[in-house]
Chains A and B, each alone.
Chain A
Amino acid sequence: MQTSRTFLKRTRAGAVVKVVREHYLREDISCGAAACRRCTPCPAGPGRGLGLEAQPRGAASSLCPGPHYLLPDTNLLLHQIDILEDPVIKNVIVLQTVLQEVRNRSAPVYKRIRDVIQNPEKHFYSFTNEHHRETYIEQAQGETSNDRNDRAIRVAVKWYNEHLKKIEDEEKIQVIFLTNDRTNKEKALEEGITAYTCEEYIKSLIANPELVDRLACVSDEGKEIESGKIIFPEHIPLSKLQQGIKSGIYLQGTYRASRDNYLEATVWVHGDAEENKEIIIQGLKHLNRAVHEDIVAVELLAKDEWVAPSSIVLQDEGQNEDDIENEEEKENILKTSVNKDMLRPTGKVVGIIKRNWRPFCGMLSKSQIKEARRHLFTPADRRIPRIRIETRQADTLEGQRIIVAIDGWPRNSRYPNGHFVKNLGSAGDKETETEVLLLEHDVPHQPFSQAVLSFLPKMPWSITEQDMKYREDLRHLYVCSVDPPGCTDIDDALHCRELENGNIEVGVHIADVSHFIRPGNALDEESVKRGTTVYLCEKRIDMVPELLSSNLCSLRSNVDRLAFSCIWEMNPKAEILKTRFTKSIINSKASLTYAEAQMRIDSATMNDHITTSLRGLNKLAKILKKKRTDKGALTLSSPEVRFHMDSETHDPIDLQTKELKETNSMVEEFMLLANISVAQKIYDEFPEFALLRKHPAPPPSNYDILVKAAKSKNLEIKTDSAKALAESLDKAESPTFPYLNTLLRILTTRCMMQAVYFCSGMDNDFHHYGLASPIYTHFTSPIRRYADIIVHRLLAVAIGADSTYPELTDKHKLADMCKNLNYRHKMAQYAQRASVAFHTQLFFKNKGVVNEDAYILFVRKNAVVVLIPRYGLEGTVFFEEKDKPTPRLNYNSEVPSITVEDTTLCVFDKVKVNIILDASNIQHQKIRMVLVEPKILGNDVPADLSTEISSKSEPEKKKKKKLQK
């Protein structure tokens, strides 16, 4: 039977359109119940679950002891998806009406419920009630579409109950309607439908009391008023916000909470406005319940209320909710008098445009009150506020890493409300912590799906005639690879030989990953989603499946491999005479480590092909490097550490900073050259859609801290150009203080901007500041970076070795891809750092208390940040302690220095710190550093420790010098 659905719609242009859809009703739609013989059994197949069980054996409920199916309404599904995903909940009917509403309102929940329906274990059944002749209803006069949908759901429940009655079975199966909507429930009861709220039903489950924890607490409006006073101003409704943004009263931006100070945040305003790009928000009321990454609307405060970003480190320690007065006190700390020109645009959050809540990892801070059910949850990410959850299993969850989702943040609550989702495992456990840091940094780390793996080449794999067609056979060349020890994904190899005319031929051969990953298939999609391989301390999360990364694409020695080669003809002055790109076949003669390669170059006895070729490369690389530095390329420094792992326990037993050899820079030099050559080639060929990498010059103000710090050591750093900076850094040496130069370089690194991928058609500034190159891209690591795969494809098209495809030449798609890649790279970097930090903690846990030399990197108002060169470890030394009287602190932003009691600490001062793993609070295991030398009155260090202090008196001397000044 045909009917039509008519509805009115407003288009984006503002027109009102009447839309008419044909709608067909059927009588042969199965009810999905296995026991029903009246309906045709529902066809099983991919994308469908098994349907409802004949004898539903879900969790036993005291409310409805008989066999029953559940039928949730839309809101319930949206809010309580965590519960529905639990294996205990089975035999649920999901109506089409519900599914469509969910789809319109939340894409992630929709995806989750689709997954649940597909899971044969769960026995979820999606019933297409909108196309069933007896359950389809039309919107009645005076009924809103919401009411209509509610009615449609009730009609379906009623139909089900009647339909199931006809099954000839002793035990009648009941359909239970679950809704949290009070009026809907009342209406259902009136119509004779068994209806419960989610809470009622879950609480009635006899064997599963722990499920209650996972209930999202969506409190009724009425409930809020009774408890406590209102803390936060009301959020302005969305429609008003949008008008306000249009008229310019409010500004829309992304909210970014501060890591160091829970009472401060910045909002990055969207759009191209020059001024007020970055707005500071200070104080609990002004933050107004915004959570990190939310899209918010901000109102600017009057100029006389503007503040400067505070340099205070504040962590939310409060356990009690009623500490509002306390908070105000803390807020006042922020408002200490500051320099007039430090003031920045300041505003307050007036409303939320879009919440960006995700499930958060963290730990439970158990309430001090015994048998309390409400506890605070402390997320691992310090930018996320603590979340109040309700749980009865606090005892078991204590010390465990758990996942919690936020449900809402009422105006009278200091903290948002949430519910428990999942237990990851005990804190401090290596597996659990790795999982946490991967989750927290949004690193896709699930094993590759079958669909992805299906696109891998079949083993045993060999090079076919077909492959040879567009390739040059370079197997006769003496190609070798140089990599760090233990490297299994070798994506680059080199060769060098003298030509008859006296010139030198140098070749860089890169694994031809784009040969294996064809555009658009599942493998390609998964790789682009991952964007990069993530290297953790003892784990590698591959971007492409292992078969490719460690075998077929890896340019191992003595096997034939496909490569993409970039071959130059150079004269002995390292000037490029000719550049040529070709797909090729190579056979690497040796895979060396940096140390091995260095040894070959240095040892006079070795004169084989590989060694001579390495020497040639090394010679050229030195010239290239010199040229590059002359042009103003920066040599920066950031301390990198490597752990020596115990082979059995996999615990770190030693830390060491990475050592750089000549061969490191040799390989790097040729990779840079290849990247630049390829960048030029693809840009010439595709000026609109070349994927390039740029490194913008930092704004001059970024250097303030560096210039000030250098000045305190009587050194001048020029920052007007990269070249001037590089030169002044080279000159900044102190005979008495050899490490100073490294420290300055570390500081310089901190001043830099992030290098990013971009699409050449969408930007016009291509300059790479750090490398001092007008154009740059990534070509040399396609195994671990997706950007390189795209560059390979572009280059292959440019030289006619491969065919193009539509997405490759769509600059908007390319720009979107760049955005994702930049995000993934940043997250991978953060994950890497977090992994190092965790392993450092493990290391110090095993090592116990140690004293180490350190240098002050930054000075804050109430703390100093120090760097311990031996471990490449950075830490913050606080001068305020909870239960001790605060020492006199005097902060001088000009030098920058801080005077604690009578001791002045200045940037770059050498100090000695005491490193302890602060495991007293298992929630936040952290490395705590206490200043040992110079000694500060009142800052006690245990006596037995102070005896360990070495006799080096250098810091003492230094300090005196300063005092004389």
Chain B
Amino acid sequence: MDCTLCKEDLRVDGRGCEDYRCAEVETDVVSNTSGSARVKLGHTDILVGVKAEMGTPKLEKPDEGYLEFFVDCSANATPEFEGRGGEELGTEIANTLYRVFSSESSVDLKSLCINPREHCWVLYVDVLLLECGGNLFDAISIAVKAALFNTRIPKVRVLEDEEGSKEIELSDDPYDCIRLNVDDVPCIITLSKIGYRHVVDATLQEEACSLASLLISVTSKGALTSMKKMGKGSLDPESIFEMMETGKRVGKSLHIALQKILDEEESLGTSRQKVGFLG
């Protein structure tokens, strides 16, 4: 069915091949996290919470903090996740996220260091899949970026006395916190090969038709930071190149749109009426 339609740059739901479905983004939805975001992309519904906790830096990188990812595939999302059904998918997504986000070029990990070799911030990024409606990776990456943007890490001071023993002091003012620079945080664009063409933001049905897809992460400047092929089908080099180009183009506009929304929301400050889970 799709082959003909795709050819015409027209998909089942009326979109073109490079069109995203309508996305809803809201940040600061879970009050007891350091930062959180909820993203709805069509029927896909993702909640991401970031919790900042103090830990010790990794031995190989004594002056950097780090990120940890955990993906929970709730059985609410799809009945297949019941029991341990979602575990494998969860690990796979977490591994991908780790590759995409946890590099020095995307997040300034050095700013997460409190004092080298002893204390640093560890950001625990928890992803909760509330509903699966296709294109999980893209939706998750948008949510992670929004949540990281929303993250506020309490400011701490390291007091050192003459003997060199250190004491960590927490600021009294809850507004006194550090923000992360998310300019270089990439988004994931999944391109699904259907017939001879490829589409972005595939729905569940489209995903069922696709034999192979390419997952690329793109920064707001259009730089490609990682790539992964998924599915059992094969892709010839020519179309891979084509897909990469599409991905960069789509990614750049996606970043612009997301940043605009986030800035708009931020400017409303505390007066913003939260939609939350009841809206």
A binds B: yes
Q: A802-858: which have CB < 8 Å to B? A: none
Q: How far does the Cβ of A10 sit from chain B's closest Cβ, in whole Å?
A: 5
Interface centre among A16, A141, A143 (most CB of B within 10 A): A16
Interface centre among A6, A8, A19, A247 (most CB of B within 10 A): A8
Q: Are B31 and A143 in contact (CB under 8 A)?
A: no
Bound CA–CA A839/B174 (angstroms): 63
Bound CA–CA A240/B167 (angstroms): 10
Cβ–Cβ < 8 Å partners of A247 in chain B:
163, 165
Task: Give the size category of B's interface with A.
Answer: 20 to 34
A18 within 8 A of B: yes
Q: Are B173 and A10 in contact (CB under 8 A)?
A: no
Bound CA–CA A791/B174 (angstroms): 53
B262 within 8 A of A: no
B53 within 8 A of A: yes
Q: How far does the Cβ of A167 sit from chain B's closest Cβ, in whole Å?
A: 35
Bound CA–CA A645/B205 (angstroms): 106
Bound CA–CA A239/B159 (angstroms): 10
Q: How far does the Cβ of A5 sit from chain B's closest Cβ, in whole Å?
A: 10
Indicate whether A16 sits within 8 Å of B163 (C-beta atoms), given known contacts A7-B174, A144-B172: no
Cβ–Cβ < 8 Å partners of A9 in chain B:
170
Bound CA–CA A239/B161 (angstroms): 10
Q: Are B53 and A15 in contact (CB under 8 A)?
A: yes
Cβ–Cβ < 8 Å partners of B220 in chain A:
none
Cβ–Cβ < 8 Å partners of A8 in chain B:
154, 170-171, 174
Indicate whether A139 sits within 8 Å of B173 (C-beta atoms), given known contacts A14-B54, A14-B168, A16-B54: yes
Cβ–Cβ < 8 Å partners of B277 in chain A:
none
Q: How far does the Cβ of B141 sit from chain A's closest Cβ, in whole Å?
A: 25
Cβ–Cβ < 8 Å partners of A240 in chain B:
161
Q: How far does the Cβ of A240 sit from chain B's closest Cβ, in whole Å?
A: 7
Q: B188-230: which have CB < 8 Å to A? A: none
Indicate whether A243 sits within 8 Å of B31 (C-beta atoms), given known contacts A6-B174, A8-B174, A139-B173: no
B156 within 8 A of A: yes
Q: Are B175 and A141 in contact (CB under 8 A)?
A: yes
A315 within 8 A of B: no
B271 within 8 A of A: no
A112 within 8 A of B: no
Give the nearest-CB partner of B164 in chain A: A247
Q: How far does the Cβ of B189 sit from chain A's closest Cβ, in whole Å?
A: 33
Q: Are B173 and A142 in contact (CB under 8 A)?
A: yes
Bound CA–CA A140/B173 (angstroms): 9
Q: Are A246 and B165 in contact (CB under 8 A)?
A: yes
Give the nearest-CB partner of B270 in chain A: A138
Q: A33-47: which have CB < 8 Å to B? A: none
Bound CA–CA A8/B52 (angstroms): 12
Q: A237-261: which have CB < 8 Å to B? A: 239-240, 243, 246-247, 249
Q: Are A16 and B154 in contact (CB under 8 A)?
A: yes
Q: How far does the Cβ of B167 sit from chain A's closest Cβ, in whole Å?
A: 7
Task: Give the size category of A's interface with B.
Answer: 20 to 34
Q: Are B173 and A141 in contact (CB under 8 A)?
A: yes
Bound CA–CA A140/B174 (angstroms): 9
Q: How far does the Cβ of A944 sit from chain B's closest Cβ, in whole Å?
A: 70
B74 within 8 A of A: no
Cβ–Cβ < 8 Å partners of B170 in chain A:
8-10, 16
Bound CA–CA A10/B32 (angstroms): 15
Give the nearest-CB partner of B156 in chain A: A16
Cβ–Cβ < 8 Å partners of B173 in chain A:
139, 141-144
B27 within 8 A of A: no
Interface centre among A9, A14, A146 (most CB of B within 10 A): A14
A638 within 8 A of B: no
Q: B139-195: which have CB < 8 Å to A? A: 154, 156, 159, 161, 163, 165, 167-168, 170-176
Give the nearest-CB partner of B52 in chain A: A16
Cβ–Cβ < 8 Å partners of A141 in chain B:
173, 175
A273 within 8 A of B: no
Q: Are A4 and B154 in contact (CB under 8 A)?
A: no
Cβ–Cβ < 8 Å partners of A459 in chain B:
none
Q: Are B32 and A20 in contact (CB under 8 A)?
A: yes
Cβ–Cβ < 8 Å partners of B163 in chain A:
243, 247, 249
Interface centre among B52, B53, B161, B174 (most CB of A within 10 A): B174
Cβ–Cβ < 8 Å partners of A10 in chain B:
168, 170
Give the nearest-CB partner of A138 in chain B: B270
B34 within 8 A of A: yes
A145 within 8 A of B: yes
Give the nearest-CB partner of A239 in chain B: B167
Q: Are A243 and B154 in contact (CB under 8 A)?
A: no
Bound CA–CA A145/B53 (angstroms): 23
Cβ–Cβ < 8 Å partners of A20 in chain B:
31-32
Bound CA–CA A139/B33 (angstroms): 19
Cβ–Cβ < 8 Å partners of B156 in chain A:
16
Bound CA–CA A15/B170 (angstroms): 10
Bound CA–CA A724/B175 (angstroms): 74
Q: Are A4 and B31 in contact (CB under 8 A)?
A: yes
Q: Are B165 and A243 in contact (CB under 8 A)?
A: yes
Q: Are A243 and B167 in contact (CB under 8 A)?
A: yes
Interface string of B54-76 (1 = CB under 8 A from A): 10000000000000000000000
Bound CA–CA A141/B32 (angstroms): 19
Interface string of A171-199 (1 = CB under 8 A from B): 00000000000000000000000000000
Give the nearest-CB partner of B121 in chain A: A16
Cβ–Cβ < 8 Å partners of B54 in chain A:
14-16
Q: A135-164: which have CB < 8 Å to B? A: 139-146
Interface centre among B31, B53, B165, B170 (most CB of A within 10 A): B31
Give the nearest-CB partner of A10 in chain B: B170
Q: How far does the Cβ of B253 sit from chain A's closest Cβ, in whole Å?
A: 35
Cβ–Cβ < 8 Å partners of A239 in chain B:
159, 167
Bound CA–CA A141/B176 (angstroms): 8
Q: How far does the Cβ of B68 sit from chain A's closest Cβ, in whole Å?
A: 15
Q: How far does the Cβ of A727 sit from chain B's closest Cβ, in whole Å?
A: 56
Bound CA–CA A14/B165 (angstroms): 14
Cβ–Cβ < 8 Å partners of A142 in chain B:
173, 175-176
Cβ–Cβ < 8 Å partners of B165 in chain A:
243, 246-247
Q: Are A18 and B34 in contact (CB under 8 A)?
A: yes
Cβ–Cβ < 8 Å partners of A6 in chain B:
31-32, 174
Cβ–Cβ < 8 Å partners of A18 in chain B:
32-34, 51, 154
Bound CA–CA A246/B172 (angstroms): 25
Q: How far does the Cβ of A477 sit from chain B's closest Cβ, in whole Å?
A: 70
Bound CA–CA A239/B168 (angstroms): 11
Bound CA–CA A462/B33 (angstroms): 65
Q: A491-521: which have CB < 8 Å to B? A: none
Q: Are B34 and A145 in contact (CB under 8 A)?
A: no
Q: How far does the Cβ of A351 sit from chain B's closest Cβ, in whole Å?
A: 14
Cβ–Cβ < 8 Å partners of A4 in chain B:
31
Q: How far does the Cβ of A254 sit from chain B's closest Cβ, in whole Å?
A: 25
Bound CA–CA A10/B170 (angstroms): 7
Give the nearest-CB partner of A240 in chain B: B161
Q: A502-561: which have CB < 8 Å to B? A: none
Bound CA–CA A144/B53 (angstroms): 23
Q: How far does the Cβ of A604 sit from chain B's closest Cβ, in whole Å?
A: 83
Indicate whether A16 sits within 8 Å of B53 (C-beta atoms), given known contacts A4-B31, A6-B31, A243-B161: yes
Cβ–Cβ < 8 Å partners of B176 in chain A:
142
Q: How far does the Cβ of B179 sit from chain A's closest Cβ, in whole Å?
A: 14
Q: B78-92: which have CB < 8 Å to A? A: none
Q: B247-269: which have CB < 8 Å to A? A: none
Instruction: Please name 6 pairs of A and B residues whose Cβ atoms are closer than 8 Å in the assembled complex, sorted by A.
Output: A8-B170, A16-B52, A18-B34, A142-B173, A142-B176, A246-B165
The 6 A-B residue pairs with the shortest CB-CB distance, nearest first, are A141-B175, A20-B32, A20-B31, A144-B172, A8-B154, A10-B170
Binding site for B on A (CB under 8 A): 4, 6-10, 14-16, 18-20, 139-146, 239-240, 243, 246-247, 249
Q: A19-B32, A243-B161, A247-B163 are in contact. List 18 more A-B contacts (CB 8 A).
A: A4-B31, A6-B31, A6-B32, A7-B174, A10-B170, A16-B54, A16-B154, A18-B33, A18-B154, A20-B32, A141-B173, A142-B173, A145-B172, A146-B172, A239-B159, A243-B167, A246-B165, A249-B163
